[in-house]
Structure 1
Amino acid sequence: MIRMEIALFLVMGMVAFIYFSSEKKITKLHRTFSVLLVTVLVYLAFDGITVYTVNHLDTVPPLLNNLAHRVFMGSMALVIFLFYRYIAILVEEETGKPRKMDKAAWVILVLSELGEWLLPIYYTQTKWGNYSDGIYTYVCYASVAFYLLLCSGMLFGNWKKINAKKKFAIGAALIFELTVCMLQGLHHTWLISGMGITLMTLAFYLTLENPDIIRAELTEQKMSMLYLKSQVNPHFLYNTLDTIRIQAELNGDKKVADLLMHLSDFFRMSVKVDRQMVELDDELDLLDAYLELMCYRYPSLHCEYDIDPDLGGAKVPNFILQPLVENSLLHGLKNKGYKGEIVISAEKNGEDMLLTIMDTGSGFAEGKKEQVNNLLANYAKQAAKMEGNSIGILNVQKRIKLLCGRKYGLWYAYNEKGGVTAHLLLPLKEAGK
């Protein structure tokens, strides 16, 4: 039996080595998984030790045997508590709902650890093998059952809101652990609890925490950024250059120089793909260069800014506003001959920041707003580009979610002027923080 514990420890040791030596984005979820991995290794080490000591009661000193068992059972309760923490954070990120059972989970953990260290230990000896028994073990098993019930409740209570891959990882982990717990309960001498813990850990590692998966997410951020840049409508470039050429033929005055300057500024700033996050002022400078050119092409187009001066240094995803403004032009104001206005606003929204892009265009066709918002709400299941001429809306949503968190994002609404307003909720982070 001890051979299985050794094999499990070696497997998890290799997983931990790969995980800790790989590049990853440090988040609350990944920090929790890191602590979980270390605790699982401690647990598996003492699992192997206790399998030996409990079956050599006549040669192992009772004090040493008891100490090993207390550490083993205490680490088991801590491991399952960390699984609860990991799943709770995962569900919170997916649903936006705050964790409600953390205090109860901590209380159960403290009571369980006290029980493991203070209650007496008994051992049952059989011809098939020996195992620890008594109220000392029941306290640990009760805490494990409590955490598994919490995790099951979170999974089924938020079933429709959890991403399919994460739903599979949580479900598989719970099935593994519940199956092993049931078998261990029916056959006390099997001593296979380490197998359940290992399978639970692997379920999350292989589906959510594998370095290749994490690297793929980071690559998706970069590719989404590059894809967004590639979606700047080439007709915009051609038409603007043609406008400049005609103006140059007519008079060659300062207006030509201004147009060239704005065009140069726009492309110079738009190719800075190495920075995922930029200050709001920088993002507005890029947008202003774009709008100056568009307003020159369409003299009846009017643009305004209403920006809280305290937000200039706030960090926003790079190249996040221009695609949305371009959509306002293409889908709203184009139908009105580019006559109307676009207003870009930024204000504090509690501890966050709300950016809005309001246009006085033709608005949504019937049912279109609901369709767009549904696509944005289910961004993870959608392809990288919306149908028709829409440019980058889903990419904007995906980049906000990846860079800022699932609480934040993009949605659309009607406005009192008959057009459409895009809302972007972003975290309020100052430069350098």
Structure 2
Amino acid sequence: MLRMEIALFLVLGFIACIYFSAGKKNSLLHKNFSLLLIVTLIHLVFDGTTIYTVNRLDIVPRLLNDILHRLFIGTMVLSVYLFYKYISILAEEESGKQLRFDMPANVFLIAAELGAMLLPVHYTVTPKGNYSDGIHAGICYISTAFYLFLCVWLLLRNRKQIDPKRKFAIGTALVIEVCVCLLQAFNPTWLISGMGLTLMTLSFYLTLENPDILRAELTEQKMSMLYLKSQVNPHFLYNTLDTIRIQAQLNGDKKVADLLMRLSDFFRLSVKTDRQMVSLDDELELLEAYMELMCYRYPELQCGYDIDPELGGVQVPNFILQPIVENSLLHGLKNKGYRGAVQISAEKTDDGKMEIRICDTGSGFAPGKKAEIDQMLLNFAGQPAKLEGNSIGILNVQKRIKLLCGREYGLSYTEEPKGGVRAHLLLPLYNEEN
């Protein structure tokens, strides 16, 4: 049995080396999984140690056995709790719903850990092997049952919002743990609890946290972005060139040269695809070139900026502002004959993040459209990146922000009380020197 624990530790240790050496964003979900890996490895050490000592009660001091068993139970409870936290974070991010059982889960963790440290330890000696039992050992089963119940509840409550692949991975991991716990309960001398935690961790790694899968998703998003940027709306190009042509016919003044220069700037900046992240100043330069052309084409269209000067060097995903502004023009101000204004602002939030707001004075959302957009942005993970359709820009912007910055960031919309729409982009404060 001890050999199995050593093998499990080596396998999970190898996975941990791969995971920690891979490049990944420092999101709350990844932090939780990193902690889960560490705690589970520590638990396997105490699991293997107690398997050795519990079968040598005649030569190992009782005090040492008790201490090792308390640490074994404590790390097991913490591991199962971290599985619950991982699923709860995932469910909250993908559903957008506030969790109800976080406080009870935390209180139960404290109570279980105190029980593991303070309750008396009892050992049973049998011809097949020795094991700990009684109320102290029961903490394992009670804690596992409690947190697995919460996991199942989260999975069922958010089954429509969670991505099917993730839902399958979580469900499979839960089934594995339940089966191992039942086998352990009916065969106490088997001492296979570490196997259940290891298999759950491997299930999560292979299907949810595998760096290769994360890199594949990043590649898919990058290819989608490159396609988008190579397929600039031809109507915009043709109409702008026509505007320049008419202007040239009417008078040969400097305005023509300025328009041509801004058009050249726009295409030059829009094809910068060598970096996933660019400075906010670079994004705004592209946006300014685009809006100058649009404002010249539609004289009654106005554009204003209110940008915190300290945010110019903050890194943002490439090509996220222009699609949002273009969406405001096509679906808001177009219905008003492009009469109105677009205001772009950027400022730091109280919790150390950055929010970019794009407000328009257009016609607002059509009936039912906002709910449709909200649902699409909320369930972005379950939808393939679009290469055509009305929501091509905002869906791919959402996917790239979530992938490059973390799931706590992203795009959302609100309706303006006086008419129009406001887009909110919540982003981290990544500076160029970082």
TM-score by length of 1: 0.84
SS of the residue corresponding to residue 24 of structure 1 reads: coil
Name the aligned partner's letter for residue 88 of structure 2: A
Q: Deviations over 1:83-112 (max 9, x none)?
A: 222222222222334455444434433333
Which residue pairs with 2:186 in the alignment? 186
Q: CA RMSD, aligned part only?
A: 3.4
Which residue pairs with 1:272 in the alignment? 272
For 2:98 and 2:416, how far apart are their aligned partners in 1? 30
Which aligned pairs between 1:27-426 and structure 2 lie closer than 5 A? Answer: 27-241=27-241, 243-244=243-244, 247-248=247-248, 251-278=251-278, 280=280, 282-296=282-296, 298-305=297-304, 307=306, 313=312, 316-330=316-330, 339-346=338-345, 353=355, 355-358=357-360, 360=362, 371-385=372-386, 387-388=388-389, 391-402=392-403, 403=405, 405-406=407-408, 408-411=410-413, 421=421, 423-426=423-426
1:407 Cα deviation (Å)?
5.8
SS of the residue corresponding to residue 160 of structure 1 reads: coil
1:219 Cα deviation (Å)?
2.4
Alignment check: 8 A CA contact 2:141 2:181 kept: no
Alignment check: 8 A CA contact 1:411 1:424 kept: yes
Task: Name structure 1 gaps, 5 residues minimum.
Answer: none
Name the aligned partner's letter for residue 204 of structure 1: F
Alignment check: 8 A CA contact 1:385 1:394 kept: yes
Q: Deviations over 1:213-243 (max 9, x none)?
A: 1212332443343233123123433543454
For 2:91 and 2:367, how far apart are their aligned partners in 1? 34
Aligned length, in residue pairs: 428
For 1:237 and 1:173, how far apart are their aligned partners in 2? 52
For 2:216 and 2:292, how far apart are their aligned partners in 1? 37
For 1:415 and 1:380, how far apart are their aligned partners in 2? 30
For 1:377 and 1:120, how far apart are their aligned partners in 2? 48
Distance change >3 Å, CA 66–CA 345, structure 1 → 2 = same
For 1:223 and 1:277, how far apart are their aligned partners in 2? 15
For 2:117 and 2:83, how far apart are their aligned partners in 1? 22
Distance change >3 Å, CA 190–CA 290, structure 1 → 2 = same
Distance change >3 Å, CA 224–CA 415, structure 1 → 2 = farther
SS of the residue corresponding to residue 172 of structure 2 reads: helix
Distance change >3 Å, CA 11–CA 279, structure 1 → 2 = closer
SS of the residue corresponding to residue 26 of structure 2 reads: coil
For 2:362 and 2:395, how far apart are their aligned partners in 1? 23
For 1:364 and 1:133, how far apart are their aligned partners in 2? 63
Larger relative CO (CA 8 A, sep 6+): 1 or 2? 2
For 2:39 and 2:406, how far apart are their aligned partners in 1? 29
Distance change >3 Å, CA 364–CA 87, structure 1 → 2 = closer
For 1:378 and 1:214, how far apart are their aligned partners in 2? 18
Task: Name structure 2 gaps, 5 residues minimum.
Answer: none
1:293 Cα deviation (Å)?
1.7
Distance change >3 Å, CA 372–CA 76, structure 1 → 2 = closer
Distance change >3 Å, CA 404–CA 18, structure 1 → 2 = closer
Name the aligned partner's letter for residue 110 of structure 1: I
For 2:206 and 2:430, how far apart are their aligned partners in 1? 35
1:187 Cα deviation (Å)?
1.5
Alignment check: 8 A CA contact 1:184 1:190 kept: yes
Q: Deviations over 1:368-395 (max 9, x none)?
A: 5555554444333333226546652321
Distance change >3 Å, CA 244–CA 85, structure 1 → 2 = same
Name the aligned partner's letter for residue 83 of structure 2: F
SS of the residue corresponding to residue 269 of structure 2 reads: helix
1:68 Cα deviation (Å)?
3.0
SS of the residue corresponding to residue 340 of structure 2 reads: strand
1:197 Cα deviation (Å)?
0.7
